[in-house]
Amino acid sequence: MVEIRAAHDGDLQDVTDIMNALLATTTCEWTDTPHTVEERRAWLERVTAAGHPVFVAADGASVLGWASYGDFRDTAKWPGYSGTVELTIHVREAAWGRGVGRLLIDALITHARARGKHVMIAAIDGENDASIRFHERLGFAEVGRLPGVGEKFGRRLDLVLMQRALDVVDVANVPER
């Protein structure tokens, strides 16, 4: 039984491990530097202090994945962006394909809608076909592709921007009966 709940300090080792698991072998995150629990602790404090969510999907004591959103661009500098948020999601590989990611995105969308947000953005590595397909299934549509803006493993990488409107019911996301 998977439960979606707010992340707390005791989850940070799992959150860190889940992020680091794919770092050395994939381009899904454009860094080579492993995350640490201390860095994730500062991040959790910063994100929650800003009123943004960090959710984990937990199966008993085991954290299967986590998701969060924050400002898309600097809303202190440009308040006009405050209706738009950008998400991050990571699910443990052993739990892929079991609906965990969908539960986490649903929780983010419910949270964002309750706060009057209008648009959710996912910024995805162009080689991360799994994530692009996943976001399509969750009602996101590709709205932009920025060629060669990133780099990892000596390769220039594209950034794919996907967007979902939050203040309309998206029929594409209603499960088939």
Ligand X SMILES: CC(C)(COP(=O)(O)OP(=O)(O)OC[C@H]1O[C@@H](n2cnc3c(N)ncnc32)[C@H](O)[C@@H]1OP(=O)(O)O)[C@@H](O)C(=O)NCCC(=O)NCCS
28 scored as a contact of ligand X (CB under 6 A): yes
To ligand X, the closest distance from the beta carbon of 79 in angstroms equals 26
- Alpha-carbon distance values, 169 to 109, 145, 157, 161 (Å): 11, 25, 33, 21
To ligand X, the closest distance from the beta carbon of 128 in angstroms equals 5
Choices 45-53, 110-118, 130-138, 145-153 (CB under 6 A): range interacting with ligand X = 130-138
Out of 131, 139, 157, 166, name the contact with ligand X by CB under 6 A.
131
Q: x/- site string to ligand X, residues 30 to 69, per CB under 6 A?
A: ----------------------------------------
Contact 39, 63 (CB under 8 A): no
161 scored as a contact of ligand X (CB under 6 A): no
Supply angle C-alpha 143, 148, 153, rounded to 5.
125
Closest to ligand X by CB, 99 or 148: 99
134 scored as a contact of ligand X (CB under 6 A): yes
Residue 70 in tokens: 């924050």
116 scored as a contact of ligand X (CB under 6 A): no
Out of 12, 124, 157, 166, name the contact with ligand X by CB under 6 A.
124
Closest to ligand X by CB, 76 or 94: 94
Q: What residues line the site for ligand X (CB under 6 A)?
A: 22, 28, 89-91, 96-102, 122, 124, 128, 130-131, 133-134, 137
